[in-house]
Amino acid sequence: MQRETWINLAILLGLILVPLWAVVMDEPFTITLTTKVVILALAGVGLNIALGYGGLVSFGHAAFFGVGGYAMGVLASHAQSYTPMQIGALEVEGTKSMLIIWAVAIVFSGITALFIGALSLRTSGVYFIMITLAFGQMLYYFAISWPAYGGEDGLSIYVRNGFPGLNTLDPIQFYCICFVLLCAALLVSARLSSSSFGLALHGARQNAERLEAVGVRPFKLRLTAFVISGMITGLAGALFADLNRFVSPTMFSWHTSGEIMIFVILGGVGRLFGPVVGAALFILLEHWLGGISDFWQFYLGLILLAVVLFARGGVIGTLAGREVAHD
C-alpha cells in the first residue's frame, strides 16, 4: 500500500476514536467540535472535486454552502411556525425531516451550481476565480437584504431536525450521521477520480486542447464536475445549519469561500483526504490559538504562511511525498 493510503486510514481511525473517547470521558463539546470538522471537511471534499480534480479554482463555493444552509433554514422555519410557504399558487409545507431537507439542499445547490457554472466556465484562470467570487457576493448581499427570512439576523431553528430512528439532539448520534455522509462523499470522490469521467477531467485540467482533439468537450466535463462539487458542498451547508440550529448570510460571505479553500490547500490539493486534514488542522489551530491570545489570528496567519512556503502540496503532500502528486 502507498504511504498516502496509510495516512488516510489513520485519519479515518482518528475520526472514529476521538468521539468515542469523548463519549467515555463525557466531553460533549469535543464531539461537537469533531462534528464541525467533519461537516467542513465535507464542504472541502465538494470543492476538491472542482478545484483538485478539475483545476477549477472556485472562490465562490460559499454560494452552495449558503444555499444548502438556507434550504434547511427555510424549510425548518416554516415547519416550526406551522405556516406553509407560498410559491405562486402552490402551498408547500415546511419539514423537519433531515432526509427531505438534504434532498432539497442538494437539488437547489445543484441548480445554483449549474447556473453559476454555465456562465462562469466561459472564462478561465483568474477571471474564473473572480467571477465565482462575484456570484458569491451577489447571493451574500441578496441574503442580507431579503427580509422574509431574517436578513442579516439569520434564522434560528430551536430544535434540530429529525432523522428516522435517531435522536439527533444527542451529539454523538448527530456526529454519526455526519460521519457516514462524509464517508459516502469520500467514496463518491474516490470513485469519481478513478472513473473514466475523472480521468477525462484530469485530462482537461492538464491539456484541454488534446482532449478536444479526441472529441471530448471540456466544457461539459467541467460543468458536470462543478455541479457535483456544488451539490456536496450544499449538503455540507445543510448539515452545518443543523449543527448550529441557525443560518445566516455569513454562510455566503467570501470569508467562508476562502476558508473552504484553505481546508483544501492546507490538506493538499487533489488529495482524497486533503480537505479532511485541512479542516481538522484549521479548527484545531483556531481553538488552540484562541485560548492563548486575543491576537491569535496573527499567529494563525504566520502558521498558514509557513505551510504555503515550506510545506508544498499541503500536509498530505508533505507526509506522503510527491510520488502520487496529481501532476
Partner 1 sequence: MTMVLLIEQILNGLQLGVMLFLMSAGLTLVFGVMGLINLAHGSLYMVGAFACAAVATATGSFFLGLLASLAAAAAAGAIVEMTVIRRLYARDHLDQVLATFALILVFSEGTRWMFGSFPLFLDVPDLLSGPISLPGGIQYPLYRLAIIVVGLCVAAGLFWLIAKTRLGIRIRAGESDRDMIAALGVDISRLYTIVFALGAALAGLAGALVGAIQSVQVGMGEPVLILAFVVIVIGGIGSIKGALIGALLVGLTDTLGRALLPTVFGYFMDPINATTVGASLASMLIYILMAGVLLWRPSGLFKVA
Partner 2 sequence: MKKFGTLAASAALLMAGAAAAEDVKVGMITTLSGGGAGLGIDVRDGFMLAIEQSGVDNIEVIIEDDQRKPELAVQLADRMIQSERVDVMTGIIWSNLAMAVVPSATAQGVVYLSPNAGPSALAGRGCHENYYNVAWQNDNLHEAAGAHANGSGYTNSFILAPNYPAGHDALSGYKRYYEGETAGEIYTQLGQTDYAAEIAQIRASGADSVYFFLPGGMGIAFLKQLADSGVDLPVVGPAFSFDQGILQAVGDAALGVHNTSQWSPDLDNAANADFTASFEAEYGRRPSLYASQGFDTANLLLSAIAAADVNDADAFRTALEAADFDSVRGDFEFGPNHHPIQDIYVREVIQDGDIFTNRIIGTALTDRADAYAAECQM
What is the per-residue burial (b if ≥16 Cβ within 10 Å, else e) of 93-116?
ebbbebeebbebbbebbbebbbeb
State phi, psi for 215 to the nearest 5 degrees: 90, 15
Q: Which are the contacts of 319, defined by CB distance < 8 A and separation ≥ 6?
A: 3, 7
Q: Does 207 bind partner 2 (CB under 8 A)?
A: no
Binding window for partner 1 (CB under 8 A); candidates: 39-47, 63-71, 128-136, 234-242: 128-136
Binding partner 2 by CB under 8 A: which of 290, 301, 306, 321? Answer: 290
Amino acid letter, residue 100: I
For the record, the C-alpha cell of 269 comes out as 490539493
Smallest distance, partner 2 to C-beta of residue 26, A: 9
Binding partner 1 by CB under 8 A: which of 254, 285, 286, 326? Answer: 254
247: left (phi over 0), alpha (psi -120 to 50) or beta: beta
Residue with cell 451547508: 237
Q: 251 is in the binding site of which of partner 2, partner 1, none (Cβ under 5 to 8 A by kind)?
A: partner 2
Q: Does 221 bind partner 1 (CB under 8 A)?
A: no
Binding window for partner 2 (CB under 8 A); candidates: 18-26, 83-91, 110-118, 306-314: 18-26
Smallest distance, partner 2 to C-beta of residue 29, A: 4
Binding partner 1 by CB under 8 A: which of 5, 83, 145, 194? Answer: 145
- Which residue, 79 or 227, is less far from partner 2 as judged by CB? 79
Smallest distance, partner 1 to C-beta of residue 135, A: 7
* 144 and 152 Cβ atoms separated by less than 8 Å: yes
> What part of residues 240-269 is at the interface with partner 2 (CB under 8 A)?
240, 244-246, 248, 250-251
* 168 and 241 Cβ atoms separated by less than 8 Å: no
- Closest Cα to residue 313, out of 252, 268, 249, 280? 268
Instruction: Identify the burial level of 124 via C-beta atoms within 10 angstroms of its C-beta, where 0-12 means exposed, 13-18 middle and 19 or more buried.
Output: middle
Q: Does 80 bind partner 2 (CB under 8 A)?
A: no
Smallest distance, partner 1 to C-beta of residue 109, A: 19
Smallest distance, partner 1 to C-beta of residue 157, A: 24
Q: 154 is in the binding site of which of partner 1, partner 2, none (Cβ under 5 to 8 A by kind)?
A: partner 2
Q: Which helix (H) or strand (E) holds 90?
A: strand 90-92
- Which residue, 18 or 319, is less far from partner 2 as judged by CB? 18
Amino acid letter, residue 79: A
> What part of residues 147-206 is at the interface with partner 2 (CB under 8 A)?
147, 150-154, 156, 158, 171
Smallest distance, partner 1 to C-beta of residue 133, A: 7
For residue 80, CA distances in Å to 71, 77, 91, 104, 155 come to: 14, 5, 16, 17, 11
Q: 175 is in the binding site of which of partner 1, partner 2, none (Cβ under 5 to 8 A by kind)?
A: none
| d(C-alpha 204, C-alpha 288), whole Å | 41
Q: Does 301 bind partner 2 (CB under 8 A)?
A: no
- Closest Cα to residue 95, out of 85, 87, 86? 85
Return residues touching partner 2 (CB under 8 A).
Answer: 18, 22, 25, 27-30, 32-33, 36, 141, 144-145, 147, 150-154, 156, 158, 171, 240, 244-246, 248, 250-251, 284, 287-288, 290-292, 294-297
